[in-house]
């Protein structure tokens, strides 16, 4: 009886060791997409009045966890029975990301802020602010869903030859780390200015060390947010281009001598540029039908 118990413990220890090893491998494989996920979500989680930043970020985080709860079991089932469907879902997600990235580039080049209403104005009523927040939260959660699918699929691909229990454990660990890690860092970024103001008010001395670092954080936040907006746009196009390059033979062998990062960015930008007018046209047609 005792020997059977210790044998069970040994099996569990071996399983946990395998899970830890494969989790490290999966983490390395998903590191790039996690960086893109951070840039995109930090940009989407900014632009709110200070008192609403954490509640909005918490709402997006809960949505991200819910996304993972839907994606994980579906990914395991599709991987086992309908693996081709995963590729189709990825490509559709890639189209959406390419469209979003191209739309941001279009807005920058034309000076037209298509989503201007998404940035809350302090003169708006409380109901209007909550309405714009709700729209931006939905957009952020939907983008998170697509990026989460990519993260889960990449992690699953690293352990596809392992037993189902190792697959479930490793991919679940990566999914949880992705959510907590990404949105934890985003929370730090969006609260930089508040922390800076607390450092400035820490003492009454002028030109103190706390004042220096506090002012540095306050001044740095707008620069960080603007930088994340640019990085987030590039990340959207890179992720989209990577999806097409890895899943479509034509794009995979296109300009093979170019660095993959340049090729994937250009693929995402070109696909987005093609998708953008089609979506604009579709929106106009839908708008006319609604009228």
| Distance from C-alpha of 107 to C-alpha of 101, rounded to nearest angstrom | 10
Q: Residues 156-207: pLDDT tens digits?
A: 777 767 777 888 888 888 888 888 888 888 888 878 878 888 888 887 777 7
Identify the pLDDT of residue 124: 63
Identify the pLDDT of residue 235: 81
Sorted by where each begins, the domain ranges of the chain are: 2-290
Question: How far does the chain reach from its first CA to its final CA, in angstroms?
Answer: 76
| Distance from C-alpha of 58 to C-alpha of 73, rounded to nearest angstrom | 24
Q: What is the DSSP letter of 122?
A: T
pLDDT band of 47, cuts 50, 70, 90? low
Residue 287, C-beta contacts closer than 8 angstroms, at least 6 positions apart: none
Identify the pLDDT of residue 1: 47
Say which range, 44-48, 89-93, 186-190, 272-276, has the weakest mean pLDDT: 44-48
Identify the pLDDT of residue 121: 45
More confident call, 17 vs 105 = 105
Q: Residues 115-167: pLDDT tens digits?
A: 444 444 456 666 777 787 888 888 888 888 888 887 888 787 777 677 778 88
pLDDT band of 46, cuts 50, 70, 90? low
> What's the pTM?
0.68
Residue 148, C-beta contacts closer than 8 angstroms, at least 6 positions apart: 64, 67, 68, 71, 175, 178
pLDDT band of 217, cuts 50, 70, 90? confident
Q: Residues 11-39: pLDDT tens digits?
A: 445 545 556 666 665 556 555 566 666 76
pLDDT band of 265, cuts 50, 70, 90? very high
| Distance from C-alpha of 140 to C-alpha of 44, rounded to nearest angstrom | 6
Identify the pLDDT of residue 201: 82
Residue 95, C-beta contacts closer than 8 angstroms, at least 6 positions apart: 240, 271, 275
Q: Residues 223-247: pLDDT tens digits?
A: 887 787 788 788 888 888 888 988 8
The closest alpha carbon to 147, from 38, 281, 248, 56, belongs to 38
* Mean pLDDT of the region 56-78: 89
Residue 41, C-beta contacts closer than 8 angstroms, at least 6 positions apart: 60, 140, 143, 144, 147, 182, 183, 186
Identify the pLDDT of residue 117: 40
pLDDT band of 291, cuts 50, 70, 90? low
Identify the pLDDT of residue 28: 60
């Amino acid at each position: 009886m005792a020997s059977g118990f210790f044998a069970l413990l040994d099996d569990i220890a071996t399983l946990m060791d395998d899970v830890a090893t494969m989790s490290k491998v999966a983490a390395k494989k998903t590191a790039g997409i996690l960086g893109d996920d951070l840039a995109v979500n930090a940009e989407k989680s900014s632009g709110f009045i200070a008192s609403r930043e954490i509640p909005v970020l918490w709402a997006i985080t809960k949505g991200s966890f819910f996304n993972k709860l839907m994606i994980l079991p579906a990914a395991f089932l599709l991987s086992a029975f309908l693996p081709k469907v995963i590729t189709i879902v990825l490509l559709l997600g890639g189209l959406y990301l390419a469209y979003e990235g191209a739309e941001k580039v279009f807005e920058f080049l034309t000076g037209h802020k298509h989503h201007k209403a998404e940035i809350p104005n302090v003169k708006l009523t409380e109901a209007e602010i909550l309405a714009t927040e709700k729209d931006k939260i939905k957009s952020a959660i939907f983008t998170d869903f697509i990026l989460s699918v990519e993260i889960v699929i990449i992690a699953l691909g690293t352990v596809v030859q392992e037993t189902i229990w190792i697959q479930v454990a490793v991919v679940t660990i990566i999914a949880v780390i992705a959510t907590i890690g990404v949105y934890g860092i985003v929370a730090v970024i969006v609260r930089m200015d508040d922390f800076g103001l607390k450092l400035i008010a820490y003492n009454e001395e002028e030109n103190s060390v706390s004042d220096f670092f506090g002012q540095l954080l306050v001044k740095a936040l707008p620069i960080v947010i603007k930088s994340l907006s640019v990085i987030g746009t590039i990340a959207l196009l890179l992720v989209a281009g990577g999806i097409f390059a890895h899943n479509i033979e034509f794009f995979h062998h296109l300009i093979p001598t170019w660095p993959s990062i340049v090729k994937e960015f250009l693929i995402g930008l070109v696909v987005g540029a093609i998708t953008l007018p089609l979506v604009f046209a579709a929106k106009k047609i839908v708008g006319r039908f609604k009228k």
